[in-house]
Chain A
């Protein structure tokens, strides 16, 4: 079955760029939307943005100036870059497959296990 796995550095210095990869196995990234969501320690979920496999993107307005989501269909991977990080960006970062149905809208039906990213010097 389709599985998602996040990977990347667990520690990033303030003002640097956080870079994460989500590898999709057991299926293709084509014909789906792919999202990034994060969860600060002890807090709720925050949607970061999504990528459609064709390349179109949509970002949370509060993060838009710092976020880039991209993908590589040949590698079945998609990526998150978040620039100029601060301690407030410390969180568990999840990647998720997001489906679209004309009647019911979007929904994220498959999630990775999450990866912890700490911003600290």
Chain B
């Protein structure tokens, strides 16, 4: 199984600041990686797929980068609605699609 490790577990950021979230795979997943945002009591929402392609309707302040084993989700200027938990998921290993444990972005 490919293990996805996200860091940090919690990120404290002030509104308007930049947030950088990391996701590391235990082995290469090429660019087969997606990022999801989840708010309390809600289903996850797709933000990024293919490591860097924004999903439909996702604001340009969200960007994804990386390939192989190292990936980054950047939120350029945090808005109040961006405080949530973010998950990465790899889709490279068709035997098992694994999620990271999540990064909580909280208000500083």
Contacts and interface: CB of A to CB of B under 8 A. Distances in A.
A25 interface: no
A106 B32 contact: yes
B101 A104 contact: no
Contact of A47 (B30, B32, B49, B89): B89
A18 to B, nearest CB: 19
A112 B43 contact: yes
Candidate in B42, B97, B98, B100 with the most chain A CB atoms within 10 angstroms: B97
Interface SS, B side: loop
B98 A109 contact: no
A44 B44 contact: no
Contacts of B30: 105
Given A107-B50, A108-B89, A111-B43, 10 more contacts: A45-B102, A46-B99, A47-B98, A61-B96, A104-B31, A104-B32, A106-B32, A107-B55, A108-B44, A114-B43
21 contacts: A45-B44, A45-B89, A45-B99, A47-B98, A58-B94, A60-B96, A61-B1, A61-B96, A94-B43, A94-B44, A104-B31, A105-B30, A105-B91, A105-B92, A107-B50, A107-B91, A108-B34, A108-B44, A111-B45, A113-B42, A114-B43
Interface of B: 1, 30-32, 34, 36, 38, 42-46, 49-51, 53, 55-56, 87, 89, 91-92, 94-102
